[in-house]
Structure 1
Amino acid sequence: MTASDLSKQDRTGRPFPVSWDQFHRDCRALTWRLNEVGPFKAVIAITRGGLVPAAIVARELGIRVIDTVCIASYDHDKQEALQLLKPISADIVALGAGTGEGVLIVDDLVDTGATARVVRDMMPAAHFATVYAKPLGRPLVDTFITEVSQDTWIYFPWDLGLSFQPPMKDGAG
């Protein structure tokens, strides 16, 4: 499966639901690894998925300077063309010496690597961390916690509501 095939991929891949508890544990595990790499002057969250893990990581590392880079790449069910909606602020760019030195970029997931490439180009010396990584995007990330297969669709807790799940014996996968 190529990156262009994946950009058309819908949610028919392997489901990987993540609860709030599990996501929080994974973010804390990510922080534990990042604590050995820092210190960091600032955190940049890639929105929207990176907002929650960036908040947890920033809290755990005691970082109060937080910014966002806003890139739209996903609709609720598929990848689309990338759109830079908000760049990294000039203050953070200056703080990172124009290259991202001492800056931590956080996202929930690196998938094909398209978003990661855009942000890496903006801040090539920044440390890039994600909670989850897929094989195509993994080389662009410095630190991550869990690798999943490329055909896995991660259902994040903010995307889910509680509902009845029929037993597997009734044909539910």
Structure 2
Amino acid sequence: MTPHPSKMFPVSWDQFHRDARALAWRLTDAGPFHAIICITRGGLVPAAVIARELEIRMIDTICIASYHDYKNQGELKVLKDISDSVKQSNGGKGKGVLVIDDLTDTGKTARIVRDMLPEAHFATVYAKPAGRPLVDTFVTEVSQDTWILFPWDMGMSYQAPINEGSKG
């Protein structure tokens, strides 16, 4: 992510739910999947929606921290690894595992998980060009200089018109 994104893309709860269901719809023919690995924290909400829609009961997490100040992507840290039972299933390379995240930005987080489970199917709701090659399925591509404002990061407040800042 660029240090100072030039565009903001606010996503409401309703829109995010529709986009997560659209992702589930796209995934129906990509399986079968016996487990979901969601990348926390952003992957928790879409993983819940997709698990329901695809009737997947085995859900695990991998906890990777990258945005330590909500603005700049820093050093990646694996805070919690994938459980051994999911990691070792089907030969240990991720076959039949669905990895879910809200967004792929630079692709750094996706690369860590891809290295762990090279045969897993990686799906995100949103994708940026730098991370796009690491994703098998996504719903919406946004430009690299766009900062997505997810519903769990926002409250109700006034939004200035787009052109308000450009008037001299």
TM over 0.5: yes
| 1:1-173 aligned within 5 A | 6=1, 9-75=2-68, 76-168=70-162, 170-171=164-165
Question: How many residues in Structure 1 have an aligned counterpart in Structure 2?
Answer: 166
CA distance in 1, matches of 2:154, 2:166: 17
Instruction: Give 1:167 shift.
Output: 4.2
Q: TM-score, normalised by structure 1?
A: 0.91
CA distance in 2, matches of 1:88, 1:160: 29
Instruction: Give 1:13 shift.
Output: 2.4
Q: Cα–Cα, structure 1 residues 85 and 42, in superposed 2: closer, same or farther, change >3 Å?
A: same
Counterpart residue identity of residue 55, structure 1: A
Deviation string for 1:87-135 (max 9, x for gaps)?
1100101224200000000000001100000000000000000000000
Q: 1:3 is matched with which residue?
A: none
Structure 1 stretches of 4+ with a deviation exceeding 3 A read: 166-173
CA distance in 1, matches of 2:15, 2:32: 26
Instruction: Give 1:12 shift.
Output: 3.2
Q: Cα–Cα, structure 1 residues 169 and 81, in superposed 2: closer, same or farther, change >3 Å?
A: closer
Counterpart residue identity of residue 108, structure 1: D
Counterpart residue identity of residue 17, structure 2: H
Q: TM-score, normalised by structure 2?
A: 0.93
CA distance in 2, matches of 1:31, 1:168: 32
Contact (CA 8 Å) 1:41, 1:95: kept in 2 or not?
A: no
SS at match of 2:20: helix
CA distance in 2, matches of 1:169, 1:90: 52
SS at match of 1:73: strand
Contact (CA 8 Å) 1:96, 1:103: kept in 2 or not?
A: no
Unaligned runs of 5+ in 1: 1-5
CA distance in 1, matches of 2:37, 2:83: 10
CA distance in 2, matches of 1:44, 1:101: 12
Identity over aligned pairs, percent: 64
SS at match of 2:3: coil
